[in-house]
Structure 1
Amino acid sequence: MADQYPFTRLDLNLLVALDALLTERSVTRAAERLSLSQPALSASLARLRAHFNDPILARSGNSYNLTPLASRLSEHTETALDAARRVFESQAEWDPSEATREFTIYGSDYSLATTGRRLASLAKERAPGVRFRFLVHNEQIVEDAVARLRIADGLLMPHGFLTDLPFTDLWTDTWVIIADEDHPGLHGEVTLDDIARLPWVFTYQSRSAFTSATRQIQQLGIEPRVETVVESFLSLPMFVAGTERLALIQAGLAEYARNTAGVRIYDPPFDATPVLNAMWWHPMHRRDPEHEWLRNLLAEAARDLQS
């Protein structure tokens, strides 16, 4: 019990102050951010310095730098603050029509433009006070999914990349190939010879970031000639239009691609593995009625997209 005593004396507001100080690196700016007086925040900084036995902010000329300890704290403070917010946002009775909770969801631009967009539309009808924060994922977020999902509500990602996490299956999509509508080298269809011969623009190209369809092409013994790599499905049509490049895109974005740029849609000349979209989430949400509502609404959004 004695070991826990210093922690029981701490005020949660100190965590808020610490987050602002680490972000702004200035007592004045941190005070403005929190709408506090400068003396009030200086007092919080003094308590933090006493607790950590560290200055936190070290003067360097006319500015302040984070101490080595403060730099380490910055990696954990935002996570701790988000977790605390979640604790105090929880409600004994969940009424979506009156709720004001914010849900944070990671995903590719494809997932957010399809599933995320439909989810937000449904929520506006059922729970107008609920907010969503949609964030585009990257390789680091996917590789550290368990830790990231402790402070986020879900990660929209097809099967094949994550394991050992609960998931909610959503909808199944397929792959199509897009090319310039006046492509001089294509005649009615795309063949395996075209895939091997023509240049490509890929989304993602690394050991841990790839699509199932591009992996299949390699398994067919074809090494595509990749001219451009972009980390965005929505930008693919712009890198195809007016060029000889080919690109693979989900059928759910085909209409968008056709309307965005002058491209034509082709079926792949191989049996492309379908895209089974899912939302992955942390086990701590299993008994959370608010999160269950989110999962059910996502499932409904997926049914709308599948129909």
Structure 2
Amino acid sequence: MDDLERRLRATNLNLLPILRAVLRHRNLTRAAEALNITQSAVSNSLRQLRAHFGDELLLREGRRLRLTEKAKQLIEPLDAALGAVGQVMAAPSFDPATSTRRFRVATADYVTAITAPEMAALMSREAPGVAVQMITARGRSAGDLHAGDIDMIISPRQVIEALSYQAPALARELSLEPLGREPFVCLARKDDEAFAAGLTVEAYLARPHASFHLDLVAHASLEHGYLIEHGVEQFNRVLTSDFTVLPLIAARSDCLVLAPRSLARLFASSLPLQFAPSPLPIPDLELVMVWPRRRSAEPELAWLRGLLKRCAAASLAD
């Protein structure tokens, strides 16, 4: 028996998933909830881990806990080790026809609107026992992904690039794949004659608008990003975190709306709406699928990515 094997046998490897949960959440209650064990069990395990490493791992600062330098150094090798063990112990393949796996995907409501109907149809034929929960993305979604609370984020590429500057360590742990690209168009009520005749940029900016704004802190909007970057102002009569509400507002008011072309097509087929290219050169919306790098080898996620690409292809096509 070599020294490594001897040390492994002397170590309680059941502590490692608990260590990863504690380091991810930095909160014993949330770690216990994620592991479905009691908080006292997490506390007892943390005492053993502190003794093993000769380090506090977590230090209290006011009402929050912060990681020690030793704890920070453990994150990457711990993820790699548990990921490797997961691959060894996992089933050799993923069969969507017999699986009962449940996925959670965080994204904008409009992405759900253009992918979920086709997804339900495909899954009924190919993966009848699989479930996909589409939840609204939020400012903390990258942290939810890191913690394992969700499986994937579908987001504009520009938002993920901004994350690389705001939280570079977190961004390095993510992998991404393009889902599709489309332009923004401008929506207005069907009987809006001035819009039908064509609006100058000045006339467009003088009109009231309804627009997307993610939450109180982050706008996560290419429209607002463009306005801020170029020092342009418009009056936003209504701000909402739901893309799918915007066409409804345009159909009932004098508000102009910028929306992805696929969403405009969907709603213009059933509401009194017209749409045209945006008077402002807003960058195209580039959607990407984002998942934890440590899970890149999982066949389940590879299948989900393929499914989503099939669902998006028809809606995002020219």
- TM-score band, normalised by the shorter chain? 0.5 to 0.7
SS of equivalent to 2:119: helix
Q: 1:208 to 1:297 in 2, by over 3 A?
A: same
Distance 2:205 2:40 in 1: 65
CA shift for structure 1 position 209: 1.9
Sort the Cα spacing of 1:8 and 1:240 in 2 relative to 1 into closer, same or farther, 3 A. closer
Code of the aligned partner of 1:227 = R
Cα distance in 2 for partners of 1:214, 1:141 equals 20
The answer as to whether partners of 1:180 and 1:240 remain within 8 angstroms in 2 is yes
Contact 1:190 1:267 in 2 (8 A): no
Q: Alpha-carbon deviations, 1:67-92, whole Å to 9, x = none? A: xxxx99xxxxxxxxxx9xxx699523
Q: How far apart are the structure 2 equivalents of 1:49 and 1:195?
A: 57
Offset at 1:264? 1.8
Q: Does 1:293 align with 2:303?
A: yes
Cα distance in 2 between the residues matched to 1:117 and 1:278: 19
| Structure 1 contact 111–157 (Cα < 8 Å) conserved | no
Of residues 251, 257, 266, the one that matches 2:261 is 251
Matched, 1:280 2:290: yes
- CA apart distance, 1:108: 0.5
**Alpha-carbon distance in structure 1 between the residues aligned to 2:39 and 2:283:** 59
Paired residues in the alignment total 256
How big is the shift at 1:212?
1.7
Q: Is the 8 Å Cα contact of residues 184 and 260 (structure 2) preserved in structure 1?
A: yes
Deviating more after overlay: 98-107 vs 287-296: 287-296
Tell me the secondary structure at the aligned position of residue 244 of structure 1.
coil
**1:182 maps to what in 2?**
191
Aligned equivalent of 1:266: 276
* Paired position in structure 2 for 1:92: 92
Inter-partner Cα distance in structure 2 for 1:261 and 1:255:
10
Instruction: Determine the C-alpha separation between the residues in 1 that align with 2:257 and 2:312.
Output: 25
Deviation at 1:48, TM superposition (A): 5.7
CA gap 1:8/1:295 in 2 versus in 1, 3 angstroms: closer
Residue in 2 aligned with 1:222? Answer: 232
Q: What secondary structure sits across from 1:96 in the alignment?
A: coil
Quick one: which amino acid aligns to residue 123 of structure 1? M
1:147 and 2:146 aligned: yes
Cα deviation 1:137-159 (Å, max 9, x = unaligned) = 122325x36525x3322101111
Query: Offset of 1:102 from its aligned partner?
Result: 0.9
Alignment map for 1:43-192 (pairs within 5 Å): 90-142=90-142, 144=143, 146-148=145-147, 150-163=148-161, 164=172, 165-183=174-192, 185-192=194-201
| Deviation for aligned residue 1:207 | 6.2
Distance of 1:211 and 1:118 partners within structure 2: 26
- Cα separation, 1, equivalents of 2:98 and 2:258: 42
Distance change in 2, residues 1:274/1:145 (3 Å): farther
**Could you tell me how far apart the structure 2 residues matched to 1:167 and 1:253 are?**
23
Letter in 2 for 1:103: F
Q: C-alpha separation between the residues in 1 aligned to 2:42 and 2:297?
A: 39
SS in 2 for 1:161: helix
Cα deviation code 1:199-257 (max 9, x no counterpart): 11111066632322343344454201111111101011222223221110111011332
SS of the residue corresponding to residue 169 of structure 1 reads strand
Cα offset, 1:306, TM superposition = 3.7
The unaligned stretches of length 5 or more in structure 1 are 13-17, 24-43, 53-70, 73-82
Q: CA RMSD in A?
A: 4.1
Asked if the contact 2:247–2:264 (Cα under 8 Å) also holds between the matched residues in 1, the reply is no
SS in 1 for 2:123: helix
Quick one: which of 203, 206, 218 aligns to 1:194? 203
- The percentage of counterpart residues that share the same residue type is 19
Task: Provide the secondary structure at the position in 2 that maps to 1:241.
Answer: helix
In structure 1, give the amino acid aligned to 2:146: A
CA separation in 1, counterparts of 2:237 and 2:211? 8
Q: Which amino acid aligns with 1:176?
A: V
- Inter-CA distance 50–97: structure 2 relative to 1 (3 Å threshold): closer
Change (3 A) 1:6 1:243: same
Q: Which amino acid is 1:177 matched to?
A: C
Other structure's SS at 1:186 match = helix
TM-score (norm 1): 0.68
Please tell me the residue identity of whatever aligns with 2:210.
Answer: V
